[in-house]
Amino acid sequence: MPQATSSSRLVSLDALRGFDMCWILGMGGVLKAALDRVAADSLLTKTVSTQLEHAAWEGFRFYDFIFPLFLFIAGVSMAIALPRRLEREGHAAAVRHLLGRALILCVLGVIISGGLRDGWEKIRWLGVLQRIGIASAAAGLFSLWLGWRGLAAAVVTLLGGYCLLLGLVPVPGIGAGDYAEGRNLTNYLDSIWLPGRKYDGDHDPEGLLSTLPAIATALLGILAGKWITSGTAASRRVIGLIVAGAVMIALGWAWHPFFPVVKKLWSSSFVLVAGGWSAVMLGVFYWVVDVRGWSRWTTPFIWVGANPITLYLCSGLGLFRMIAERLVGHPGKEWAGLSTCVSFALMLLLARWLWRRGIFIKV
């Protein structure tokens, strides 16, 4: 049986990143289109369709897991890459890299959300890429000076502090401890301090205060990365990730009655549930791909995982959709999923083309 070592490249991490990005880039639409064609009214189709939509507010569905998984993976990657950069270039260069990457992602996030198209007042200053940039940079800075215990303490402090803020600080006219949409401290601060366009009217799911627990998500990834590249036996690393993930999931749901699992708040309980599932997924992928050596099935995911931001930008700017509509036109209701499938196929073709030519656009 192949033995994964701490020094070997984690093919499983590349595959998991690509797996995650495929869902972000339309694999869910392809799956729903296929199920609608085969068994539109079946229980399976309805169940899958529900999981491929975000929970309206409280709760946790598969699609609620996709974004935090990417941020968790970013933390795992930093745990591997930052020590090498430190050794090569020193602390100052590592700090400049983290801050520069965060700035680039923030600028790209503004552009993909429309940029200056509708004027300064309509700019969406915070969004998905901005959250990845800011949260991963902050977590990376923590990791430059803190060890295992310090990073774990930072996670506890961020999650506990966020819970206390929302539970104890009153919202004018409402009071403290209200977690309903539009009535909580996170949404209130966005409404008065976050300029420009917000995704949900006067507040944003990637807003100001919820950045704090998002940093904890990236820190969980860094801790997982340190563990999976440690010198312990591969089987122990797998078990450790899965057990730690199960414990976090249990703690998150135990916290839920007191601080609900809400993705749009990035609540502390949500961080634990999403982080727990991320750790389990990493453990499973690591065991299957790196330990057992069953990696051939991951090839398309590795193509996508090699250039995730580039593909995300192309998708967000509508490139794949525009080409697909030119190829197939605007199909009627019976074939409504056709353009979605073609868009996804175009994305895979571009990913493969970049991979085969060794083009890896890093941010």
Q: What is the mean pLDDT of residues 64-87?
A: 96
2 lies in some domain: no
Domains identified in the chain, total number: 1
210 lies in some domain: yes
Both tokens of residue 199?
A: 């995704």
363 lies in some domain: no
Higher-pLDDT residue of 40 and 247 is 247
pLDDT in tens, 175-189: 999 999 999 999 999
361 lies in some domain: no
163 lies in some domain: yes
Both tokens of residue 230?
A: 């440690």
6 lies in some domain: no
Residues 232, 248: Cα–Cα separation, whole Å: 22
Phi first, then psi: what are they for 58, rounded to 5°?
A: -75, 150
Of residues 69, 110, 100, the one with CA closest to residue 305: 69
Which pTM value belongs to this model? 0.94
328 lies in some domain: yes
pLDDT in tens, 103-146: 999 999 999 998 878 788 889 999 999 999 999 999 999 999 99
4 lies in some domain: no
Cβ neighbours of residue 215 under 8 Å, at least 6 residues apart? 134, 135, 138, 139, 142, 158
Are 93 and 101 in contact by the 8 Å Cβ rule? The answer is: no
Parent domain of 340: 11-356
Residue 258: is its pLDDT beyond 80? Answer: yes
